[in-house]
Amino acid sequence: MGSFTVNTIAKLLAIRSRKNYTRKKEVQTLRRNTTQRMAIEQVFKEQERPLGVEEVHAFGRKIVKSLNQATVYRNLKILVHDGWLKRITHPLLGTLYERTGKDHHHHFHCRTCNRAFELPGCVLKENEIAPTGFVVEDHEIYLFGVCPSCGA
Amino acid sequence: MGSFTVNTIAKLLAIRSRKNYTRKKEVQTLRRNTTQRMAIEQVFKEQERPLGVEEVHAFGRKIVKSLNQATVYRNLKILVHDGWLKRITHPLLGTLYERTGKDHHHHFHCRTCNRAFELPGCVLKENEIAPTGFVVEDHEIYLFGVCPSCGA
DNA sequence: TCGCTAATGCAAATGTGTTTGCAATAATAT
DNA sequence: ATATTATTGCAAACACATTTGCATTAGCGA
């Protein structure tokens, strides 16, 4: 063990005493701000819509040209683990990642450009659609059609 | 070539002249009513809810104990091809199959028994949820909660 | 700047759902 | 009942997304 400050040691002790901590596990708890992860975060900030792994990889490469797909996977997992991203399964596009902290919203899929968008707001009244006996706790809505840029 | 009746020959000619016809392709066009496929159809008739491959296999085995998983896959493809089944991708359960010919409906997922259900009817007004510029052609709604039998 | 080690790039390995080659079986028309 | 061939069971092969082992690189604390 090297020479850490008291602060760092306290941080490490706190981290390593967490119940699920395993040193070799994929998702580490002591982060380093790598250019790769910062690039990935930037991609989500710029795009403002749910992205698939391949999209993140492609956009990220424009920032860090050496960005590897395995690194994308590793960082997406980290960002989900840290609560910065949320993982969703789109009926047509499969696994997508979107930023957390947004209000309840739904997803639009453009059949022309094959991209996913977030639509704010919700008009669904859960109690109006569920027959007696079904207790509805949550819901997801997927809309399909043509987005503004493709429809023009 | 055997001795077919004029009717059968005409049928075959019609089938084989279809543009996409390839003899060795998985999905044949001249069906035989096998006990396996009839069992699979019966499973869907009895369950009346979307089923995954493994569910179909498990239920089907109770009718035809030798039923193989590959046969399930082959017949699900055939039944979709024939328009008897529809294939959907559930956000949590993955690929499911449901009978066609039903009115517009949505899907309920019970978090307790992990089964999918169909809920008839729809209260969503597509034009109320889409911002200007988005043209909505279709939608899917997934509800999550507890089903009647699990909630009791 | 130095030392430690988390993170990366690369390729190989993994996992899970689905397909397929083949010999044997069974559905259908006659 | 017979001939034909679609269908089956089985195991191997496949596709695809995701992961991991390892040597190297680079972030961070001091």
Within 10 Å of residue A29's Cβ, how many Cβ atoms?
17
The angle formed by the CA atoms of residues A96, A101 and A106, to the nearest 5 degrees, is 55
Q: Is the pLDDT of residue B29 over 70?
A: no
Dihedral sign, CA of B124, B113, B83, A88? positive
> B126 in contact with A at a CB cutoff of 8 Å?
yes
**Residue B127, pLDDT score:** 67
- Lowest mean pLDDT of B15-24, B54-63, B64-73, name the range: B15-24
Selection from A70, A75, A65, A73 nearest residue A33 by Cα: A75
Query: How many domains are there within chain B?
Result: 1
* A76 in contact with nucleic chain C (CB within 7 A): no
Q: Is the pLDDT of residue B8 over 60?
A: no
* Inter-chain residue contact B88 with A91, CB threshold 8 Å: yes
**Residue B2, pLDDT score:** 36
Angstrom distance (rounded) from CA A121 to CA A119: 7
> B79 in contact with A at a CB cutoff of 8 Å?
no
| Domain membership flag for residue A1 | no
| Domain membership flag for residue B140 | yes
Bases of strand C lying below 7 A from some protein CB: 3-12, 17-21, 26-30
Query: Smallest CA–C1' separation from A3: which nucleotide?
Result: D30
**Residue A15, pLDDT score:** 56
**Which one-letter DSSP state was computed for residue B51?**
B
Q: Which of residues 29-68 of B touch strand C (CB under 7 A)?
A: 31-35, 53
Angstrom distance (rounded) from CA A93 to CA A23: 34
Q: Is the pLDDT of residue B104 over 50?
A: yes
> A131 in contact with B at a CB cutoff of 8 Å?
yes
| Domain membership flag for residue B56 | yes
Predicted confidence (pLDDT) per residue in B38-67, tens digit: 999 999 999 999 999 999 999 999 999 999
**Residue A24, pLDDT score:** 46
| Domain membership flag for residue B10 | yes
Q: Are B72 and B57 in contact (CB under 8 A)?
A: yes
Mean of per-residue pLDDT scores for chain B: 86
**Residue B4, pLDDT score:** 46
* Inter-chain residue contact A128 with B129, CB threshold 8 Å: no
Q: What is the pTM of this model?
A: 0.85
**Residue B152, pLDDT score:** 78
Q: Is the pLDDT of residue B134 over 60?
A: yes
- Per run of 10 residues, the mean pLDDT along chain A (length 152 residues) is 50 55 54 96 97 98 98 97 95 96 94 95 74 91 95 84
Nearest CA in chain B to A144: B138
**Residue A118, pLDDT score:** 95
One-character DSSP codes across A13-46: HHHHTSTT--TTSSS-SS----HHHHHHHHHHHH
Residue range(s) defining the domain that contains residue A93: 6-151
| Domain membership flag for residue B1 | no
Q: Which of A89, A91, A130 sits opposite B143 (nearest CB)?
A: A130
User: Tell me, what CATH number does A132's domain have?
Assistant: 1.10.10.10
Q: Kindly give, in sequence order, each residue whose CB lies less than 8 Å from that of residue A53, ignoring residues fewer than 6 positions away.
A: A69, A72, A73, A76, A95, A97
pLDDT confidence band for B16 (50 / 70 / 90)? low
Q: Which of B121, B125, B148 sits opposite A133 (nearest CB)?
A: B148
| Domain membership flag for residue B78 | yes
> A124 in contact with B at a CB cutoff of 8 Å?
yes
* Inter-chain residue contact A123 with B119, CB threshold 8 Å: no
| Domain membership flag for residue B117 | yes
